[in-house]
């Protein structure tokens, strides 16, 4: 039986809207039992450093974290305060930056389609899964996430307050979409829209925002910025998960893209787009868009244009393998998924040929098993890159993309590197991931220390 993914999203939104009303999530009244250890300073001794940039490890070193920043790095002994210091003997293990996923949908990642459709699924269950997903992401070594569509503002605030354990989040808010675009999750019974038509559930909750014409795009962009978006996302072409748009459909005019670009620029941030095809990508670039999510079906002309304009490619290693998002065999969604997978090798090869600014993300949907394989999805990039290049992409390169939010960056400071003055998001790895990238596939075993913002969330050496 073919599943209608607009119905799936609508079901999810009904549950989560009810959750906000019943539990006070918007006021941050939830909490987790897992709380970080408050520390004045942490001294890592006898570690070898992957700094997020170099292709080789450092000599044996010592690293002092004071508060939430890296204060001192030295091959000599570091004099630390006599009290209030936690000492961690790395015994030659590798200290590296926390990992960054540049394309997530935290609210929609882990709940299976069948569960969302079930009338027995409770509001509490959906919330607990979302909260647990954020916590699990951090405990797998991913200390930062760029959420590029979904109602994640309140979850971010709860994490920042310490009510929920999770990664740093750069939220886009609702994906802005034209009618019948990738972010239009209405059913056919909800059209045509009239001035008196209510907003769809997806719009009410903030998964998608339907906007047609320059004025509406301006308004919807400004509404996301008002809620705290660090960057803006528009749907520029057909999508796999959406119900009505074929992959070759180009969405939005250059003038509409420019409206969003201008509104974002007024807030000193940028626009990224969902797009696979050359026409969709090129139209958006002409309007000033700075980043492309996906891009698997681009051609050489498009890659050349991206290189000339300095446009980022935020791409995921979509292959027809065990990590493919779960769509029913024989469905239109599955057919589109296979079409995208056929372009992945070519897109990565073009990115390398033209030296594109390239970010990595997962774009996992509807699967807790898929979310659990976040590290494995990163490791498979060795199909195209060296282990050092892979880890650089998921640390310093992804951090460079996050920093494009400028003043809208919710976490000022340097991330993705191990250097003095940088924010202390760190992993201590039992082994050398530059030699064995598969170490990141088993974080529970191999990430013996996980630190975010100078706080230890996992220490297996105690």
For the domain that residue 159 is a member of, what is the CATH number?
Answer: 3.20.20.140
Q: List phi, psi (to 5°) of 189.
A: -75, -10
Q: What is the pLDDT of residue 409?
A: 97
Q: Which domain holds residue 55?
A: 41-98+416-459
Q: What is the pLDDT of residues 269-284, one digit of tens each?
A: 999 999 999 999 999 9
Same domain, 209 and 348: yes
Contact (CB, 8 A) for 9 and 52: no
Residue 13 located in a structural domain: no
Q: Which of 168, 230, 106, 136 is nearest to 416 (CA)?
A: 168
How many domains is the chain partitioned into structurally? 2
Whether 35 is covered by a domain: the verdict is: no
Q: Which of 94-98, 181-185, 348-352, 375-379 has the lowest mean pLDDT?
A: 181-185
- Whether the predicted model's global pTM rises above the 0.85 cut: yes
Percent of the chain at pLDDT above 90?
A: 73
pLDDT over 60 (residue 25): no
Question: Is the residue at 388 inside a domain?
Answer: yes
Do 80 and 116 belong together in one domain? no
For the chain, give the percent of residues with pLDDT over 70. Answer: 89
Q: What pLDDT was estimated at residue 14?
A: 55
263 plus 360 within the same structural domain: yes
Q: CA-CA distance, 239 to 105, in Å (whole number)?
A: 15
Q: What is the pLDDT of residues 43-61, one digit of tens each?
A: 999 999 999 999 999 999 9
- Same domain for 67 and 201, yes or no, is no
For residue 203, the model assigns a pLDDT of: 77
In terms of domains, do 224 and 76 share one? no
Residue 32 confidence (pLDDT) above 60: no
389, 408, 427 — which closes off a domain? 408
* pLDDT of 73 strictly over 90: yes
Q: According to the model, what pLDDT value does residue 462 have?
A: 80
- pLDDT at site 18: 52
Is residue 34 situated within a structural domain?
no
* Residue 58 or residue 14, greater confidence: 58
Mean pLDDT check: name the lowest of 124-133, 246-255, 432-441.
124-133
Residue 24 lies in a domain: no
Distance CA 149, CA 96 (A): 29
Quote the CA–CA distance of 39 and 120 in Å, as a whole number: 43
In a domain, 5, yes or no: no
What CA–CA distance (Å, rounded) separates 384 from 365? 24
In a domain, 435, yes or no: yes
Can you give the pLDDT at residue 37? Answer: 46
Residue with tokens 């909490």: 31
- Mean pLDDT value across the chain: 89
pLDDT at 29 over 90: no
- pLDDT at position 189: 81
Considering the domain architecture, whether residues 427 and 335 belong to the same structural domain is answered as no
Q: What are the pLDDT digits (tens) for 279-336?
A: 999 999 999 999 999 999 999 999 999 999 999 999 999 999 999 888 889 898 899 9
Please check whether residues 301 and 153 belong to one and the same domain.
Answer: yes
Task: Give domain status of residue 124, yes or no.
Answer: yes
Residue 433 pLDDT grade (very low, low, confident, very high; cuts 50, 70, 90): very high
Tell whether 365 and 254 lie within a shared domain.
yes
pLDDT tens digits along 114-146: 665 567 766 567 667 878 899 999 999 999 999
Segment 425-452 mean pLDDT: 98
SS3 of residue 314 by DSSP: strand
Residues 85, 145 share a domain? no
């Amino acid at each position: 039986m073919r599943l209608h993914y607009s119905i799936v999203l609508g079901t999810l939104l009904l549950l989560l809207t009810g959750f906000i009303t019943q539990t006070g999530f918007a006021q941050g009244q939830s909490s987790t039992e897992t709380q970080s250890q408050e520390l004045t300073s942490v001294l890592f001794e006898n570690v070898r450093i992957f700094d997020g940039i170099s292709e080789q490890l450092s000599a044996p070193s010592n690293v002092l974290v004071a508060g939430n920043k890296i204060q001192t790095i030295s091959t000599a002994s570091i004099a630390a305060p006599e009290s209030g210091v936690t000492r961690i003997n790395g015994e030659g293990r590798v200290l590296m930056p926390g990992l960054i996923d540049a394309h997530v949908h935290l609210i929609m990642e882990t709940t299976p389609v069948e569960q969302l459709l079930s009338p027995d699924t409770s509001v509490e269950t959906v919330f607990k899964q979302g909260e647990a997903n954020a916590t699990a992401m951090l405990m797998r070594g991913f200390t930062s996430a760029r959420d590029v569509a979904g109602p994640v503002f309140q979850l971010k605030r709860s994490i920042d307050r310490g009510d929920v354990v999770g990664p740093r989040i750069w939220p886009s808010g609702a994906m802005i979409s034209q009618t019948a675009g990738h972010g239009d999750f209405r059913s056919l019974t909800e059209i045509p829209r009239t001035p008196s038509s209510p907003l769809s559930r997806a719009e009410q909750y903030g998964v998608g925002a339907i906007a047609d014409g320059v004025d509406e795009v301006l308004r919807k962009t400004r509404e996301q910025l008002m809620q705290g978006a660090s960057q803006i996302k528009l749907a520029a072409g057909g999508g796999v998960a959406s119900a009505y748009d074929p992959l070759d459909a180009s969405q939005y005019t250059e003038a509409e893209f420019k409206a969003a670009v201008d509104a974002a620029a007024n807030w000193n941030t940028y626009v990224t787009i969902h797009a696979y095809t050359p026409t969709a990508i090129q139209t958006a670039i002409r309007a000033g868009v700075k980043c492309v999510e996906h891009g698997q079906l681009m051609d050489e002309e498009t890659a050349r244009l991206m290189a000339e304009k300095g446009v980022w490619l935020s791409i995921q290693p979509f292959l027809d393998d065990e990590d493919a998002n779960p769509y029913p065999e024989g469905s239109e969604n599955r057919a589109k998924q296979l079409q995208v997978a056929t372009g992945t090798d070519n897109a990565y090869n073009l990115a390398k040929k033209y030296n594109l600014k390239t970010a990595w993300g997962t774009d996992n949907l509807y699967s807790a098993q898929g979310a659990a394989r976040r590290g494995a999805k990163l490791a498979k990039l060795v199909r195209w890159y060296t282990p050092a290049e892979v880890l650089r992409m998921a640390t310093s390169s992804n951090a460079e993309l996050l920093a494009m939010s400028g003043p809208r960056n919710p976490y000022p400071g340097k991330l993705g590197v191990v250097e003095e003055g940088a924010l202390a998001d760190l992993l201590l790895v039992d082994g050398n991931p530059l030699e064995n990238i598969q170490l990141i596939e088993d974080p529970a075993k191999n990430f013996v220390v996980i630190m975010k913002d100078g706080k230890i969330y996992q220490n297996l050496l105690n």
